[in-house]
Structure 1
Amino acid sequence: MAGWADQVSFLADIDAEARQALQVLKPMHVPQRTTLFRPGDAAQSFVILLSGRIGVYLTGRNGRELLLYSVTPGETCVQTTLGVLGGAPYSGEAVAESDLVAVMVPPAVFERLMASSPAFRAFVFKAFADRLGDLMFVLEQVAFVKVEQRLAHALLERADEEGRVALTHQELAAVIGTAREVVSRRLEALSSKGVVENERGQIRLVDRGELSRMARVGEG
């Protein structure tokens, strides 16, 4: 009978021995908005995400949050990898942005697989490199891209099929790296132009074409 490790495409290249070692670990269900770790916590396991989305945030001394990166199936968390490999404590906070299904790999199993399975090791380091790329993208966006462009891109990326974005103004501010008041003003301006509609606890996209144009401004 096929187990979870046989059903996820991003582990297709790992060897049979590594697959067997992972297969005995039971997937866990984690509810939306659960805090997975906080600054100062020690890494307890290496997370393999099977479904859902995790957001990893950094909080500044002024209390403002910034989304460092998101983790989706097939991706890994930089801070967790560093914590399990080198014992570094978490400096950010991870929150389940949706209901999750994940496998928690104990440090002993993770270290054994890293030492014995080149394919598993390649998966970990490739995913790690991808997350570093995301961090560089965040730095570039915050440093060089206008708030309006970042907001348009975030709205398009987070909208469901019906064009609704189930995020508060504070949560959107964390995603694009600015203050809640700035997001509120920009959304009010977009609403007055008929581009979005501000609804209770969410934003509805009215003119995706205009948001796409705004998201592309300055590219190339």
Structure 2
Amino acid sequence: MSDQPELKAFWSRFPDLQHQPRWQQLQAQIRLMPVPAGASLFHAGDLCQHYVVVLNGSVAVRRFAENGREIVLYRVGEGQTCALTTSCLLAADPYPAEGVAETPLNLMLVPSAVFSELLGLSAAFRQFVFQAFGERLSELILLVESVALRRLDIRLAERLLQLAGEGQTEIRKTHQELAAELGTAREVISRYLKEFERKGWLQTQRGNLHLLDPDQMQQFLQQSA
């Protein structure tokens, strides 16, 4: 690991490890792995072999229902970890969902046995692991609450404005991708987008959307609050 600055930068967060004689042996087993965009990282039913940190790039973790519908549970970005990976390592359970690289990635892989030992060796690393796990669990609870209790047209309008960003009007998302983001069927998303188009808020095109009146969409959200 000594010739890999990305890994050195990450582990410098945990100075208590530097005083552990065992650390020198353990770090030799930690490796960096590049992953191309579109690659599958794990599938439902796979066993977890490594604790994984995304050093750069983005991973979408998604769940498929028996009827074929999907929902994006969360994304893992730079410096973050996957809550399902942590859960599967701690409980020795298989993955209940799948992870896909949305962009090219650099991943840090910590073998499961090394991960278990590090939890006991470093209080700082242990805090990092469980704080990240707790934060992601809170996000999942909010997702369940949103899907179960909030109107879909409101959630769709919010997501479109988030994707557009400040001053942007082009959104490169298909109807199916938006459906996966919001945990519903593509036909439902298409129906709401047609309604938004009828109101003059956006224009639908193949593979992307063009916001025409984001201010009116924002006003709709304020009135619906």
Q: TM-score range by the shorter chain?
A: 0.7 to 0.9
Shift of 1:24: 7.0
What is the CA-CA distance between 1:37 and the residue it aligns to? 0.9
> Which of 201, 212, 217 is the equivalent residue of 1:211?
217
Is 1:4 aligned to 2:6, yes or no?
yes
Q: Contact 1:3/1:23 (CA < 8 Å) preserved in 2? A: no
Cα distance in 2 for partners of 1:209, 1:23 equals 54
Mapped contact 1:76–1:131 kept (Cα < 8 A): no
CA deviations over 1:2-46 (Å, ceiling 9, x no partner): 8114545xx663226369755874432222222111111101211
**Aligned-pair CA distance for 1:194:** 2.7
Structure number with bigger Rg: 2
Q: Of 81, 87, 90, which aligns to 1:82?
A: 87
Quick one: which of 168, 187, 193 aligns to 2:193? 187
Contact preservation (8 Å) 2:46, 2:95: yes
Tell whether the 8 Å contact from 1:149 to 1:217 is kept in structure 2 after alignment: no
The CA deviation string for residues 47-101 of structure 1, in whole angstroms up to 9 with x for no partner, is 1011222111111121111121221223321211112222110111111222222
Q: Quick check: 1:142 aligned with 2:147?
A: yes
Per the alignment, do residues 206 and 39 of structure 1 end up closer, same or farther by CA in structure 2, a change over 3 Å counting?
Answer: same
- Percent of aligned pairs with the same residue? 38
**Does 2:128 correspond to 1:123?**
yes
Q: What is the one-letter code of the residue matched to 1:36?
A: L
Over the aligned positions, Cα root-mean-square deviation in angstroms equals 2.5
Q: 1:14 — aligned with what?
A: 14
Which of 30, 40, 43 does residue 45 from structure 2 map onto? 40
Whole-Å separation in 1 of the counterparts to 2:218 and 2:99: 29
* 1:27 alignment partner, SS class: strand
The aligned length equals 217
Alpha-carbon separation, structure 1, partners of 2:137 and 2:115: 20
In structure 2, the residue matched to 1:163 is 169
2:36 is matched with which residue? Answer: 31
Using structure 1 for the length normalisation, give the TM-score.
Answer: 0.86
Structure 2 residues without counterparts, runs of 5 or longer = none
- Could you report, residue by residue, the CA deviation over 1:117-154 in whole angstroms, capped at 9, with x for unpaired residues? 11111011000001111110111111111111111222
**TM-score, normalised via structure 2 length:** 0.85
